[in-house]
């Protein structure tokens, strides 16, 4: 690729992807994803406490667990249900807050992000109950079937109301988007109650949301009625496309494409992880919650950071350590010393831009192939149940091995992560070795 063609392609890519990543909807999703990380990690940590006897099966430990911390097992479950069990509320509410705030700041509208959140929660709970058209009226659904208990329209399970858990994430996202757009439209066209300037801001904001609130309630209720007359509801309608998307993302080729796109974009200097994760963030959260409930999906939680990108994008942990201790060229050795510690926590911007990997045609093959290989090994190991499924959301900077162990609540997860890191390094080795020799010759020639 000539320099001119390279620059033209880069400009085109940057323009299109920059426009996409900078869109209000995507920024709001990313903000929502970041804001609920803490809650998913908190819930996951308490879930670990409930599965400890399954991880450490020695009779002495199981007996000790049952006689001590195991007595509070139901409390741990309550805390988990209070986070992952209502994850749709967290996600939809956070999205609505971010989305409303973006419009307020960029369109200079008198929008209150908290009103956006409250209106969204109202709209979401309008859609939660299950109703059917029966005998000329909208009747509550009632069912006592095992695993599908519905009382007066509200489905309940071990984690509480089923539709505000993982199954409601996608519906919550669509409802939040629609609610904020209705709120924005009303305020933009002055469909609101305006109070005198002497009225406190909190009181004025509550009245300004009244007409938008009525509009949201009426529109969402009308949609609900139309769907009930058609024999369905918004949850069932949205389940079809989003379950299809989730199935694709959880397939081996879907995971492969995700890994490839992340690193292909990074090679052009575009933050691939941020852009692509905006698509799958809701999916992996939903899959992880489903796994905790008995499902077996592979692409869940922090699959990427636990088993694919050890050391950062490109799975550069082993390569960074080799550079720090074995590289012969001064450039790689000094860069390796700088990167060695951050790499332990999955941070590798110094290598991406300092080596550099970005736009370095000599390193594109291992940069893409190493994470693809480690990802496929991890996928196969979990799919064949050699390694337990991911049920815990570990902090993304968790060091290699420990992250895999926490994510799967198993020692097998630790081993898999280490094996993946070794595989990635073996792919990197011949390329970084050759690159080191080239730099060494240049340094020697310059002396």
Whole-angstrom Cα distance, residue 250 to residue 262? 16
Whole-angstrom Cα distance, residue 351 to residue 358? 9
Whole-angstrom Cα distance, residue 148 to residue 349? 48
Whole-angstrom Cα distance, residue 171 to residue 220? 12
Whole-angstrom Cα distance, residue 209 to residue 232? 30
Cβ count within 10 A of residue 354: 16
User: What is the DSSP track for 79-98?
Assistant: HHHTTGGGHHHHHHHHHHHH
By C-alpha distance, which of 216, 390, 211 is closest to 299? 390
Beta strands in 123-237 (DSSP E): 131-134, 137-140, 143-145, 148-151, 154-157, 160-161
pTM passes above 0.75: yes
Q: What is the pLDDT of residue 45?
A: 84
Q: What is the pLDDT of residue 388?
A: 94
DSSP 112: -
Whole-angstrom Cα distance, residue 262 to residue 235? 30
**CA dist list (Å): 232 to 131, 167, 294, 406:** 9, 16, 26, 40
All structural domains of the chain with their residue ranges:
83-241, 251-446
Q: What is the pLDDT of residue 18?
A: 67
Per-residue pLDDT of the chain (447 residues; tens, 9 = 90+): 556 655 566 667 667 766 777 789 888 988 888 888 888 888 888 888 888 887 777 888 889 999 999 999 999 989 988 988 898 999 999 999 999 999 999 999 989 999 999 999 999 999 999 999 998 899 999 988 766 788 888 988 777 788 898 788 889 999 999 999 999 999 998 887 776 666 666 666 667 788 999 999 999 999 999 999 999 999 999 888 888 878 888 899 999 999 999 998 888 777 778 778 877 888 898 899 889 888 899 999 999 999 999 998 999 999 999 999 999 999 999 999 988 888 988 888 888 888 888 888 889 999 999 999 999 999 999 999 999 999 988 887 889 999 999 999 999 999 999 999 999 999 999 999 999 999 999 888 886
């Amino acid at each position: 690729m000539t320099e001119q063609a390279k620059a033209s392609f880069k400009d085109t890519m940057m323009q299109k992807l920059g426009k996409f990543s900078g869109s209000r909807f995507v920024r709001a999703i990313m903000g929502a994803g970041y804001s609920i990380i803490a809650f998913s990690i908190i819930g996951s940590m308490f879930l670990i406490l409930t599965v400890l006897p399954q991880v450490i099966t020695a009779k002495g430990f199981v007996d000790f667990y049952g006689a001590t911390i195991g007595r509070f097992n139901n409390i741990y479950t309550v805390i988990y249900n209070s986070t992952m069990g209502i994850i749709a509320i967290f996600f939809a509410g956070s999205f609505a807050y971010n989305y409303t705030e973006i419009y307020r700041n960029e369109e200079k509208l008198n929008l209150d992000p908290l009103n956006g959140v409250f209106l969204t929660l109202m709209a979401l709970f309008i859609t939660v109950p299950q109703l059917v058209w029966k005998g000329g009226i909208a009747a509550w659904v009632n069912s006592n079937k095992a695993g599908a208990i519905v009382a007066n329209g509200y489905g309940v399970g071990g984690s509480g109301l089923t539709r505000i858990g993982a199954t409601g994430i996608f519906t919550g996202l669509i409802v939040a988007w629609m609610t904020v757009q209705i709120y924005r439209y009303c305020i933009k066209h002055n469909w609101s109650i305006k109070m005198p300037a002497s009225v406190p801001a909190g009181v004025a904001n509550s009245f300004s949301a009244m007409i938008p609130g009525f509009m949201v309630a009426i529109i969402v209720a009308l949609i609900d009625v139309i769907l009930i007359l058609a024999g369905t509801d918004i949850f069932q309608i949205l389940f079809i496309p989003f379950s299809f998307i989730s199935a694709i993302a959880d397939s081996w080729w879907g995971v492969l494409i995700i890994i490839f796109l992340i690193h292909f974009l990074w090679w052009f200097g575009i933050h691939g992880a941020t852009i692509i994760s905006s698509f799958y963030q809701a999916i992996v959260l939903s899959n992880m919650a489903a796994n905790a409930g008995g499902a077996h999906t592979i692409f869940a939680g922090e699959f990427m950071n636990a088993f694919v990108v050890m050391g950062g994008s490109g799975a550069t942990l082993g390569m960074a350590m080799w550079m720090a201790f074995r590289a012969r060229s001064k450039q790689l050795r000094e860069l390796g010393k700088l990167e060695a510690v951050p790499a332990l926590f999955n941070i590798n911007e110094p290598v991406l831009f300092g080596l550099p990997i970005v736009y370095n045609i000599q390193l594109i093959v291992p940069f893409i192939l190493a994470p693809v290989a480690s990802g496929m090994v991890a996928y196969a190991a979990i799919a064949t149940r050699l390694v337990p499924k991911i049920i815990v959301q570990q902090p993304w900077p968790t060091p290699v091995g420990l992250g895999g162990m926490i994510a799967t609540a198993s020692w097998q997860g630790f081993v898999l992560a280490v094996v993946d890191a070794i595989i990635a390094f073996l792919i990197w080795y011949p390329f970084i070795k050759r690159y080191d020799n080239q730099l060494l010759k240049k340094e020697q020639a310059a002396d």
